[in-house]
Structure 1
């Protein structure tokens, strides 16, 4: 379930002066949230973060803890447990301790919890590529929240409410699948786009030219999916049943890309079967496109799609 309401100002500090923390800190102050400052291992980077956000550099972690209601740990994942142990040396009663890792649950902050803190994983669903993230872009992002959400008056809910961003609450046992979902639609999409761009470069374009060429295509597809959903945005040879085109693609593919092409194309074929069944069901009420044999429904009236399925390795 998504939540979206309004709230109060809270004092927030950051441990780790990287791209995520500086971007979030700048955004928080933009939204009227009081920023206490930064603590980090290197004075130079921490001072830079404080300067960018017009906040304070803390040389002592305990001082930052005392001055903050909420602390965000924005270090690499493998350091979070170390920070958790350091925090357990201090009075953490009435403090909220968060990390921004999407792959770890709030349970990694077990020491902070034992010493009085409420602990959370607060993950912004966004790829932070610099410390100067556009504030307008940050207004659009969703947050996922996992941890000790007791009621709508908790400090974390007040913070998210003040930001005005939409968010959803998830359980601690979802961290792995949640992070997988993020990686699939972000990092692996980047990898797939790079692979596709390689073939444009083989045609004589440089990387910049190739990216400029594909940008309208990629942007248009994303917008179509957002507006109409996946099934109604389907295009291409698999959807049309162009078996010779698919065969030619497989011949042209580098060996290391063939499995990727086949797996993704088979998924397109499944989406195509949903589309076809939905179209067919408008004239035949007996078709249930949610049943497991939806592909067989497609193949029963479309030999070309069955042939493509066989070419892609769907049938031994």
Structure 2
């Protein structure tokens, strides 16, 4: 099986280099930016295509690695071509393979293949892809074959139902992108306390890194510490008194989730007073 890519951005480069490093044959890249396609082809030791039709004709498996809002546009071009027996994939976390409308009538097989992974670099992210969980959904016919492709590379895989893609992607945003927002919020408040930005970021990184390390070592429930876990109503009340309305809204929402975890850790504790405090602020 050989693989071609439509879209030469970070995701296309990352998967392409990952495959090339693992001796999976690549045909090459097409992109509306020919320079980007050439760079990707050079990076992955594959070919440059100047038309979608030639890339599709030459490839058994085609990855559409464009932005989410371009996937359907590309598919509308691809589905006009001969794709009988070909595997068509996209790498969106939020979209399912349902976007490949009419693919069964064309004799093709559609899949969404998404790494639970933050792809931040065209040229370096492939090095971390080995550790990523790959979620897959799509046509039944080659589902096992696609899964075995990634299992053979050493990845853990998870077959997901197409109806759960949006919720799955929201979970990924909570655990990745919104962590950056929390880091930003903590940094801003430390700056209000007189920290320099570098001091604040360094402090936040230490705290967040320690929390993640504790989750890994002790598990999610046992890793929980702090005033909510201790049922320290007085401290939480003082926090709420000094935070801005926007900061307070975030603090309350997250603290409610912390109470759920705290109840699991400390079933003997009564968190009613703390819950009431959060509910009425």
Question: In structure 2, do the counterparts of structure 1 residues 129 and 206 end up closer, same or farther at CA, with 3 Å as the change threshold?
Answer: farther
Q: Which residue of 2 aligns with 1:293?
A: none
User: How do 1:27-66 residues align onto structure 2 when only pairs under 5 Å count?
Assistant: 27-66=18-57
Contact map agreement 1:80 1:99 (CA 8 A) in 2: yes
Structure 2 Cα separation of the partners of residues 229 and 148 of structure 1? 35
Long gaps (5+) in structure 2: none
User: How do 1:86-105 residues align onto structure 2 when only pairs under 5 Å count?
Assistant: 86-105=77-96
Q: Which residue of 2 aligns with 1:145?
A: 136
Q: Give me the TM-score of the superposition, normalised by structure 2.
A: 0.93
User: How do 1:130-279 residues align onto structure 2 when only pairs under 5 Å count?
Assistant: 130-150=121-141, 154=145, 156-277=146-267
CA offsets, 1:106-140, max 9 Å, x none? 01011443311110000111111110224442110
Larger radius of gyration: 1
Q: Greater RCO between the two (CA within 8 Å, min separation 6)?
A: 1
Structure 1 Cα separation of the partners of residues 217 and 105 of structure 2? 46
Q: Give me the TM-score of the superposition, normalised by structure 1.
A: 0.84
RMSD: 1.8
Q: Which residue of 1 aligns with 2:6?
A: 15
CA offsets, 1:28-55, max 9 Å, x none? 1111111111101111111121122222
User: How do 1:300-311 residues align onto structure 2 when only pairs under 5 Å count?
Assistant: 305-311=271-277
Determine helix, strand or coil for the equivalent of 1:240: coil
Contact map agreement 2:183 2:204 (CA 8 A) in 1: no
Q: Which residue of 2 aligns with 1:291?
A: none
How far apart are 1:203 and its partner, in Å? 2.7
**Within the alignment, does 1:114 sit opposite 2:105 as a pair?**
yes
Structure 2 Cα separation of the partners of residues 185 and 71 of structure 1? 29
Long gaps (5+) in structure 1: 1-9, 281-297, 300-304
CA offsets, 1:282-304, max 9 Å, x none? xxxxxxxxxxxxxxxx32xxxxx
- Count of matched residue positions in the alignment of Structure 1 and Structure 2: 281
Structure 2 Cα separation of the partners of residues 163 and 95 of structure 1? 21
CA offsets, 1:44-72, max 9 Å, x none? 11112112222211001111112211111
Determine helix, strand or coil for the equivalent of 2:229: helix
